[in-house]
Structure 1
Amino acid sequence: MREWLQDPATRSRLRGSLLAGGIGDALGAKTEFDSIDRIREIAGPAGITDLIPAYGGIGRITDDTQMTLFTLEGLVRAHAGARREQGTFATADTAVPVEQSLQLAYQRWLHTQGIAWERARGPQETSPEPDGWLVTNRELFSRRAPGLTCFGELEAYGRTGVRAGVDKPVNNSKGCGGVMRAAPVALWSDDLAEVFRLGAESAALTHGHPSGYLSSGAFAVIVHELLLGKPLLDAVATARVELEKYQGHEEQSVALDQALALAREGAPTPEKLETLGQGNIGETALSMSVYVALTTTDANSALLASVNHSGDSDSTGSVCGNLVGAMYGEEALRTDWLEKLELAEVIGRLADDALAEFGPDAPGDDRWYARYPAY
């Protein structure tokens, strides 16, 4: 039984992780890949200090948060479906693999990006419309500069129905599109090897290079440990143990070592942060986010530091937000940012539903299974 999921502190950490991820995403949305000099021209000499307009409004999220929500929905549906079919849940024996549930969740996201459901769903899916509660939220139906790799590989699945994986790589991409959406995998299990495995497999659906999927496995383990209240350094060390079990881990291992070494030099600056990379590939998105989380003392300053650099600012904002939100909890986040964050109510509701589904007293009524139908 997973009683820790009923702890109010866990609820605060999970909601904080998802909400802070959205805030970081929104803080960096306007200036993705702008130079730090350009950011200072746009936002002032101190760089980004508050939410600025992007995608026609304040607090607008990007594909990073959209896909994170669909990751969590896919996990909830896989878990609920297994419970309904078997009476008790066993990760290894689900009738439909959780990876397939995640694949279909991402196909629903693809549909929100303007792809007709008949093209997005894949040849094995015959439903005339996408189902479940999440896809009914019309604010999700907006393109926010989706990554070309994610978009292209999900379109390919829509044509072929062939699911990729760690043992069947779809390409050689190590882009950050896998790690940016992987935080919810932390909830899947208390077996850290399984959390890492599924984190990696969730990313391998679209990214076939080890640094594209092992970063996601490590990230999921780190978030899992933070949700339990573990210190970040301990969480990173735990993730490293799992990471080093996999072939091709060296780039991510080195990137994390560089982040830890840089953190010993004190408070973050854009210039220091940029020595770790641009955050557009899996290993640097994670290492840059870990560095910022280690060298700040509160969630809000971490969120700002994570987006003030000449790189993939919305992705590092999202990943770092997932980390510091889990570290400090929802109550630590600026209320004015929460009030302006797009889909904040949906994010919070989905987090609460996930805690209910993965907790010891999961709902079993027809309304719940209509909200989260199997797979």
Structure 2
Amino acid sequence: MTRLGEEMWRARVRGCLLGGAIGDALGGPVEFEDGRSIVAKYPDGVREFLPGGPGWPAGTITDDTQMTLFTVEGLIRASVRTDRGLGFTVAVVQHAYDRWLDTQTLTGPSGERDGWLQGEQWLYVRRAPGNTCLTALEQARQGGSKIPQFGAQAVNASKGCGGVMRVAPFGLLPRQFPAEWVFDSAADAAGYTHGHPTGKLASGTLAAIIRELCNGASLEEAITQATNLLTQHEGHEETSTALNFARHLAATAPAGPVTVERLGGGWVAEEALAIAVYAALAYPAPEQFLDAIALAVTHSGDSDSTGAICGNILGALHGETALPAELVFAVEGRAAILQLADDFALEFTQGRRLHGDYGPHTAWTARYPGW
């Protein structure tokens, strides 16, 4: 990767993670509200952070961003783990989700976990986490031993959007990770909590879109290439049909909440991906980022997840400089998000300078233990 290419990639990593958090925070307060009611109050869509009630100030992220951050941390730790001569193991990400579960069941860090992210007190709060995620991760803990065995797929038939809303970081991995591996690994990571094939395949598709964008593809090209990967998998029909309909509406229908509602509510994986893709296609230019995110969250459905996914896509497409300054400034957890983004970039470009040949007990491996 050239220096210019690395700088652009780092901007896309930051843009993807911050953009997702912004979309999440915009949509969270209106998640359970009827679309007509949202439009009545906000005719131009939700374009600024709103409070979500007591203990939920404007700019607050939800479980979508929380789990995305733990995905990033898990990928970094999976890379550190390769120092042992082992391959890059996706199950390390499930271990990260197990630490996220602590943030939903404890009031603060227990002192029994390692790594820095689980020590962030601001993450220890519930923002309407999905029951499927909670139940599946709790069941994984009860696998018959005191130490959970990571890597097993969830045994349920859920295709809720709780898998797809957190897997964008797989697409941020650099070019040496092949497209097929990125797709399959993101699908597996979603499958730790969501067992239905559609929940997995929609997740793999999002990661593939992000990967192509990070490698310089246009939005249309990225969606086409990801769809080509998707259709090679058995059971792709729900996701590919939803994506094709989103592309059709973006090309033929007025950009607005009425059109968004035709794609569903976003509660299930293929609908959430389709809504996010539609909004991004409707407003694809860098200066239209806020138009796209506002459209993605203004509907009768899972507004925080559709906003987060749309923000991931457009942040990866345009980089961090396209994000509205007033929202970047105010989004919860910005410092931690950017720190993770930069650490992710460091690990996957200069990891050998941080660990490995420099010894197994460095400050970096204390920050990101390899398991």
**SS of structure 2 residue aligned to 1:45:** coil
Quote the residue 1:367 is aligned against: 363
Mapping of residues 1-375 of structure 1, within 5 Å:
7-41=6-40, 43-54=41-52, 55-82=55-82, 84-86=83-85, 93-94=86-87, 98-115=89-106, 129-160=112-143, 161=148, 163=150, 165=152, 168-188=153-173, 189-265=176-252, 267-296=254-283, 297=285, 298-360=288-350, 362=352, 363-364=354-355, 366-375=362-371
Provide the rounded CA distance (Å) in 2 between the counterparts of 1:290 and 1:172.
24
Provide the rounded CA distance (Å) in 2 between the counterparts of 1:64 and 1:128.
25
C-alpha deviation, 1:162, in angstroms: 5.2
The TM-score, its normalising length taken from structure 2, stands at 0.90
Quickly say closer, same or farther: Cα 1:348–1:147, change in 2 above 3 A: same
Provide the rounded CA distance (Å) in 2 between the counterparts of 1:336 and 1:315.
21
C-alpha deviation, 1:288, in angstroms: 0.9
Tell me if structure 1 keeps the 8 A contact 2:106–2:124: no
Tell me if structure 2 keeps the 8 A contact 1:132–1:373: yes
Provide the rounded CA distance (Å) in 2 between the counterparts of 1:217 and 1:172.
17
Provide the rounded CA distance (Å) in 2 between the counterparts of 1:4 and 1:291.
33
Provide the rounded CA distance (Å) in 2 between the counterparts of 1:346 and 1:116.
19
Tell me if structure 1 keeps the 8 A contact 2:92–2:150: no
Question: Letter of the aligned partner of 1:56 in structure 2?
Answer: W
Question: Letter of the aligned partner of 1:198 in structure 2?
Answer: S
Question: Letter of the aligned partner of 2:136 in structure 1?
Answer: E
C-alpha deviation, 1:115, in angstroms: 4.3
Quickly say closer, same or farther: Cα 1:352–1:5, change in 2 above 3 A: farther
**SS of structure 2 residue aligned to 1:113:** helix
Tell me if structure 1 keeps the 8 A contact 2:45–2:295: no
C-alpha deviation, 1:268, in angstroms: 1.7
Question: Letter of the aligned partner of 1:31 in structure 2?
Answer: V
State how many pairs are aligned: 354
Quote the residue 1:90 is aligned against: none
Quickly say closer, same or farther: Cα 1:3–1:208, change in 2 above 3 A: farther
Provide the rounded CA distance (Å) in 1 between the counterparts of 2:351 and 2:196.
39
**SS of structure 1 residue aligned to 2:252:** coil
C-alpha deviation, 1:256, in angstroms: 0.7
Question: Letter of the aligned partner of 1:196 in structure 2?
Answer: F
C-alpha deviation, 1:360, in angstroms: 4.7
Moved more, 188-197 or 231-240: 188-197
Identity of counterpart residues, as a percentage? 43
Tell me if structure 2 keeps the 8 A contact 1:302–1:320: yes
Provide the rounded CA distance (Å) in 1 between the counterparts of 2:351 and 2:74.
19
Provide the rounded CA distance (Å) in 2 between the counterparts of 1:248 and 1:199.
16
Question: Letter of the aligned partner of 1:99 in structure 2?
Answer: V
Provide the rounded CA distance (Å) in 2 between the counterparts of 1:131 and 1:34.
39
Unaligned runs of 5+ in 1: 87-92, 119-126
Tell me if structure 2 keeps the 8 A contact 1:177–1:282: yes
Moved more, 259-268 or 216-225: 259-268
Provide the rounded CA distance (Å) in 2 between the counterparts of 1:374 and 1:164.
15
Tell me if structure 2 keeps the 8 A contact 1:164–1:170: no
C-alpha deviation, 1:100, in angstroms: 2.1
CA deviations 1:113-163 (Å, max 9, x no partner) are 124999xxxxxxxx9711101111111111110000001111111111355
Provide the rounded CA distance (Å) in 1 between the counterparts of 2:192 and 2:108.
19
Tell me if structure 2 keeps the 8 A contact 1:3–1:360: no
C-alpha deviation, 1:29, in angstroms: 0.6
Provide the rounded CA distance (Å) in 2 between the counterparts of 1:242 and 1:190.
15
Unaligned runs of 5+ in 2: none
The TM-score, its normalising length taken from structure 1, stands at 0.90
CA deviations 1:10-57 (Å, max 9, x no partner) are 11111011001000000001111311122235x433331211112421
Tell me if structure 2 keeps the 8 A contact 1:276–1:284: yes
State the superposition RMSD in angstroms. Answer: 2.0
